[in-house]
C-alpha cells in the first residue's frame, strides 16, 4: 500500500479498490483511517474523495444467486436453440448447395445433349447447305442486297448482268467481279440475265446447288426454308451441279436447255429434271412477269418497249416522250440482261441517246431518233 503515499488527485483514490471498500463498506484492511490522519492535506483530499464516492453510489438491485442460476440455465437453453438452428441452417445451406449443384449438372447435361443432338441431326443431313454457310465460306468482301419489299427488285451487277430479286430474298455478290469466275450467292428467288462472257463463267450458288452459265437467262428459286431448289431456264444453256459443300450427292452435272427446269430435292439430294415446264403445275404457276413477256419487238414504238421493260423489271423509265414519239424499233432483247437491253435500245434510237440507272430509276436522255 505504498503507492497511496503518492496519491495527489481524487481520481487516484476513486480507482483504489481498497479505498472504496473502506469508504463504502467500512472494511478498513489497510489502515486508511490512520493513514489519513497522518497529514492534514491528505485528510482534506481523502475527505473530498470519500464524499464524491459516497455521492456516486449506484443503486444495485442485487440479484440473488438463484436469479443468476436461473439466468444461466436460461442461457444454456438459448445456446442449445441457437446451435440447433445453426446446424439446421448449415444443413439447409448444404442441401441448397447440393440442389444447386445437381441443378447445374442437369442443366449442363441437357445443354450437352442439345448440342450433341443438334450436331448429329445436322451431320446426318449435313447436305442441307444454307445461304449463311455459303456466305461464310466465301466472305471476300461481298455486297449483300436484301429485298424486304413486296415487289421484285432489280440488281445490276458489275458485269452488266441483271438479277430480278423477288421479295424475301437476298443476293450476295462482289462489287466487282475479279478472277476467272463470276460468283454470286442467292437465298430465295431471283431471275438472272447474265451478260455473255465465255471466259468468265457465271456461278449462282444457292443452297446445295451451283448453277453455271456463260450467258443466259434463268430463274433460281432457293429458299432456305423450302424443301427444294428450282432452276428454270429461259434462254441459253445452264449447267447445274451440287455444291462441293455437299459431299454425298452425285457429282454429275446436269445441263438445262431453254424451257427446261430442274428441281432439287434437298432431303434426298436428288436432281429432278423437268423437260416440259408447262406440265409442272408448280412451275407454270410461278412464272413471273419477266418470263412471260416477249422481248421480240417488230416495228414497235419505243414507248411500248420501255413499258415492257418497266413491267418486266419493275423499274421506272424516264424518257423524253415528245422526242421519241415517232421512233419504232425492231429488235430481239430476249437473251439480254437489263443493262444490255437498254444499251441496245439506246443504240438503236441514235448515237446521242444514253441511259443512266439509279436503283430502279432509269433516265434516258435523247435528242430523238435518226
Partner 1 sequence: MKTRILPVSAVDDNTLWNNLIIGDEKSFSLLFERYYSDLVNYGNSLSPYAEKVQDCIQDVFTDIWVYRNSLQESVVVKSYLFSSVRKRIARLYERDHIFRKTATTDAIAFLLEFSVENELLDDDYAAKEKVIYLNKLLNELPARQKEALYLRYHQGLSVEQIAEMLDVNYQSASNLLHRGLLTLRKEWKGSFSLIMLLFSGTL
Note the residues at the interface with partner 1 (CB under 8 A): 10-11, 14-15, 17, 20-21, 24-27, 48, 51-63, 65, 68-69, 71-72, 74-75, 78-79, 82-83, 86
Residues 6 or more apart whose Cβ sits within 8 Å of residue 146: 169, 170
245, three cell numbers: 459443300
Q: Report the residue number, 72 or 282, with the smaller CB distance to partner 1.
A: 72
252 burial via Cβ count (<10 Å: 0-12, 13-18, 19+): exposed
Measured between alpha carbons, how far is residue 111 from residues 100, 101, 106, 170 in Å?
16, 15, 8, 33
CB of 28 to partner 1, least distance (A): 12
Alpha carbons 319 and 342: distance in angstroms, whole number: 12
354 and 362 Cβ atoms separated by less than 8 Å: no
- Tell me the torsion sign for CA atoms 26, 30, 33, 36: negative
176 and 197 Cβ atoms separated by less than 8 Å: no
Instruction: Give which of 316, 346, 319 is closest to 331, Cα–Cα.
Output: 346
CB of 24 to partner 1, least distance (A): 7
Residue positions counted in the chain: 370
CB of 111 to partner 1, least distance (A): 41
251 and 241 Cβ atoms separated by less than 8 Å: yes
- DSSP lists the bridge partners of residue 187 as 170
Q: Report the residue number, 8 or 304, with the smaller CB distance to partner 1.
A: 8
CB of 15 to partner 1, least distance (A): 6
CB of 14 to partner 1, least distance (A): 5
Q: Report the residue number, 21 or 197, with the smaller CB distance to partner 1.
A: 21
Q: Report the residue number, 15 or 99, with the smaller CB distance to partner 1.
A: 15
What 8-state DSSP symbol labels residue 1?
-
Amino acid at each position: 500500500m505504498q503507492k497511496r503515499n503518492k496519491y495527489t488527485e481524487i481520481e487516484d483514490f476513486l480507482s483504489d479498490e481498497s479505498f472504496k471498500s473502506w469508504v463504502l463498506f467500512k472494511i478498513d484492511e489497510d489502515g486508511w483511517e490512520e493513514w489519513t490522519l497522518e497529514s492534514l492535506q491528505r485528510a482534506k483530499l481523502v475527505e473530498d474523495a470519500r464524499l464524491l464516492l459516497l455521492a456516486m453510489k449506484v443503486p444495485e438491485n442485487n440479484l440473488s444467486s438463484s436469479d443468476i442460476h436461473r439466468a444461466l440455465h436460461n442461457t444454456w437453453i438459448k445456446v442449445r436453440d441457437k446451435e440447433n438452428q445453426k446446424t439446421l441452417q448449415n444443413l439447409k445451406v448444404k442441401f441448397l448447395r447440393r440442389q444447386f449443384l445437381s441443378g447445374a449438372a442437369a442443366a449442363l447435361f441437357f445443354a450437352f445433349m442439345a448440342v450433341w443432338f443438334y450436331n448429329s441431326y445436322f451431320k446426318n443431313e449435313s447436305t442441307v447447305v444454307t445461304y449463311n454457310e455459303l456466305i461464310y465460306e466465301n466472305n471476300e468482301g461481298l455486297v449483300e442486297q436484301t429485298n424486304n419489299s413486296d415487289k421484285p427488285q432489280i440488281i445490276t451487277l458489275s458485269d452488266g448482268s441483271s438479277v430480278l430479286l423477288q421479295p424475301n430474298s437476298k443476293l450476295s455478290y462482289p462489287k466487282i467481279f475479279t478472277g476467272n469466275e463470276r460468283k454470286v450467292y442467292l437465298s430465295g428467288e431471283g431471275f438472272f440475265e447474265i451478260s455473255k462472257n465465255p471466259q468468265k463463267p457465271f456461278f449462282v450458288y444457292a443452297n446445295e446447288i451451283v448453277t453455271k452459265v456463260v450467258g443466259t437467262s434463268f430463274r433460281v428459286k432457293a429458299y432456305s426454308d423450302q424443301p427444294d431448289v428450282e432452276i428454270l431456264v429461259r434462254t441459253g444453256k445452264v449447267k447445274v451441279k451440287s455444291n462441293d459443300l455437299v459431299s454425298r450427292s452425285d457429282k454429275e452435272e446436269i445441263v438445262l436447255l431453254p424451257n427446261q427446269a430442274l428441281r432439287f430435292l434437298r432431303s434426298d439430294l436428288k436432281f429432278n429434271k423437268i423437260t416440259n415446264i408447262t406440265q409442272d403445275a408448280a412451275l407454270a404457276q410461278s412464272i413471273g412477269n419477266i418470263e412471260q413477256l416477249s422481248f421480240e419487238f417488230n416495228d414497235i414504238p419505243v414507248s411500248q418497249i420501255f413499258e415492257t421493260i418497266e413491267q418486266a423489271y419493275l423499274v421506272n423509265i424516264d424518257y423524253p416522250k415528245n422526242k421519241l414519239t415517232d421512233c419504232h424499233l425492231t429488235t430481239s432483247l430476249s437473251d439480254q440482261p437489263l443493262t444490255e437491253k437498254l444499251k441496245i435500245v439506246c443504240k438503236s434510237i441514235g448515237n446521242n441517246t444514253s441511259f443512266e440507272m439509279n436503283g430502279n430509276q432509269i433516265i434516258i436522255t435523247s435528242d430523238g431518233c435518226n
